[in-house]
Amino acid sequence: MATVTYENASRVYPGATTPSVDKLNIEIKDGEFLVFVGPSGCGKSTSLRMLAGLEEVNSGRILIGDRDVTSLPPKDRDVAMVFQNYALYPHMTVADNMGFALKIAGTPKDEIRKRVEEAAKILDLTAFLDRKPKALSGGQRQRVAMGRAIVRQPQVFLMDEPLSNLDAKLRVQTRTQIASLQRRLGVTTVYVTHDQVEAMTMGDRVAVLKDGELQQCDSPRRMYDHPDNVFVAGFIGSPAMNLMTLPVADGGVKFGSVTHPVDADVLSNTGDTIIAGVRPEDVELDDSGRGLPVEIDVVEELGADAYIYGSVEGAADTDKPFVARVDGRTPPKKGDTIYFTPKADHIHLFNPETGLRLNG
């Protein structure tokens, strides 16, 4: 078991003008489950592969525990890629399917059997060890793939989009399994996904990347409640946060006719406008027609709640529809115009130029 430290680690691909990963700094605690998340091309997989030793680190360094592994070949780093290989071999027993990487590495037979049995116990596969994979269910086959990494007893588990090939149902199941297994084993784990829901439900901490730069690294709760910039605000949460560029006046932000009061020192860091972020569940409807008007295009009734989708009148550069979660018993109708303000203390403010968070 070990900590993992990225220290100003950068990766520039040959022929590229900008780094794919730019001065990454993260300290991952012993036993922690850290998730790299971000849109395609953000550098999340590259960051993982730099740790695995599959991508060169052009500057900075990476440590596993106190050991500088920056220039070590992959096999000497004591890390294991999980789910690199799902393929189960039909003629080999479950035990051999789990232990074959150890055999390749030249581990003695007794030791292989011992480790396979230990892993099988953790994975509830003991009864199946001498059977062929054909006799297993889909979920059990997944666990065999996990077992392959566990038997190697690495210091760090690495997982690169392990669920992307699974259908939706198996994905949710496996997600829970991986998270609970990781907690049982207590092995430091670095996990890559493009799916923010996966990141938020699995990680002890989540690191959001964009264009090779770390945007924020925090617990899922903190990330949701306190995004450090506009990108994180829009990326984390489903449905996404409503982000609107609104005028600043009278000591606050103007939601139509209503002024939402904001501290003077926050306002002093922006000009005539500000980006205001309001999560769908933090939208407060106003029956008296005060607030920012929204024309409703779609109403999605889910029983207890309803989601309304529409467009904000007068808010600039919003390409995404406005979304609000409202009481499912008396939702507004399609075509209505509603008025809203944010719930007190549930507004996120960002500088329109830098995108950085302004309020605490």
Partner 1 sequence: MALDITAARLDPALLDLPWELPLEEWPQDLLAALPQGISRHIVRFVKLSGRVVAIKEIHADLARREYDTLRILNRLDQPSVMPLAVISGRKTADGEPLDACLVTQHLKFSLPYRAVFSQKMRPDTTRRVLDALAVLLVRLHISGVFWGDVSLSNTLFRRDAGDFAAYLVDAETAAVHQQLSNGQREHDTVIAHGNIAGELMDLEAGGHLEEGVDPIEIADRIIHRYELLWEELTATERFESTERWKVEDRIRRLNNLGFDVDELDITTDIDGTHIQIQPKVVDAGYHSRRLMELTGLDVEENQARRLLNDLDAYSASTDRQNDDEAQVAHDWVSEVYTPVTLAAPRSLRRKIEPAELFHEVLEHRWYMSEFSGNDVNIMDAVADYVATVLPNKPDEDAVVGLDTQEMPIVADIDAGRKG
Residues that bind partner 1 (CB under 8 A): 13-16, 49, 53-56, 73-75, 84-92, 96, 100-101, 103-104, 133-134, 141, 164-165, 167
Cα–Cα–Cα angle for 291, 351, 337, nearest 5°? 20
Q: Beta partners for 309? A: 298, 323
Q: Closest separation between CB of residue 329 and partner 1, Å?
A: 27
The amino acid sitting at 308 is I
The amino acid sitting at 299 is V
- CB distance 146 to 181 below 8 Å: yes
Q: Closest separation between CB of residue 90 and partner 1, Å?
A: 4
Q: Closest separation between CB of residue 104 and partner 1, Å?
A: 5
Buried/exposed 207-226: b ≥16 CB within 10 Å, e otherwise: bbbbbbbbbbbbebeebbee
SS3 272: coil
Question: Whose Cβ is closer to partner 1: residue 88's or residue 308's?
Answer: 88
Q: Measure the CA–CA gap between 312 and 324, rounded to whole angstroms.
A: 11
Q: For residue 53, which phi and psi values (nearest 5 degrees)?
A: 90, 10
- Residue linked to tokens 């990225």: 6
Question: Whose Cβ is closer to partner 1: residue 80's or residue 223's?
Answer: 80
Q: Closest separation between CB of residue 194 and partner 1, Å?
A: 10
Question: Whose Cβ is closer to partner 1: residue 87's or residue 127's?
Answer: 87
SS3 92: coil
Question: Whose Cβ is closer to partner 1: residue 54's or residue 285's?
Answer: 54
Residue 135 backbone class (left: φ over 0; alpha: ψ -120 to 50; beta: rest): alpha
Q: Measure the CA–CA gap between 256 and 152, rounded to whole angstroms.
A: 61
Question: Whose Cβ is closer to partner 1: residue 133's or residue 212's?
Answer: 133
Q: Closest separation between CB of residue 290 and partner 1, Å?
A: 42
Q: Closest separation between CB of residue 70 and partner 1, Å?
A: 12
Q: Closest separation between CB of residue 191 and partner 1, Å?
A: 17
- Residue linked to tokens 């980006």: 275
Q: Closest separation between CB of residue 284 and partner 1, Å?
A: 35
Q: Measure the CA–CA gap between 144 and 125, rounded to whole angstroms.
A: 8
List the structure tokens of 271. 């000009």
Q: With the CA atoms of 323, 327, 333 and 336 taken in that order, what torsion angle do they form, in degrees rounded to the nearest 10? A: -60
Q: For residue 241, which phi and psi values (nearest 5 degrees)?
A: -65, 145
Question: Whose Cβ is closer to partner 1: residue 133's or residue 277's?
Answer: 133
Question: Whose Cβ is closer to partner 1: residue 147's or residue 342's?
Answer: 147
Question: Whose Cβ is closer to partner 1: residue 15's or residue 303's?
Answer: 15
Buried/exposed 20-31: b ≥16 CB within 10 Å, e otherwise: bbbebebebeeb
168 contact partners, CB below 8 Å, separation of at least 6 = none
Question: Whose Cβ is closer to partner 1: residue 84's or residue 259's?
Answer: 84
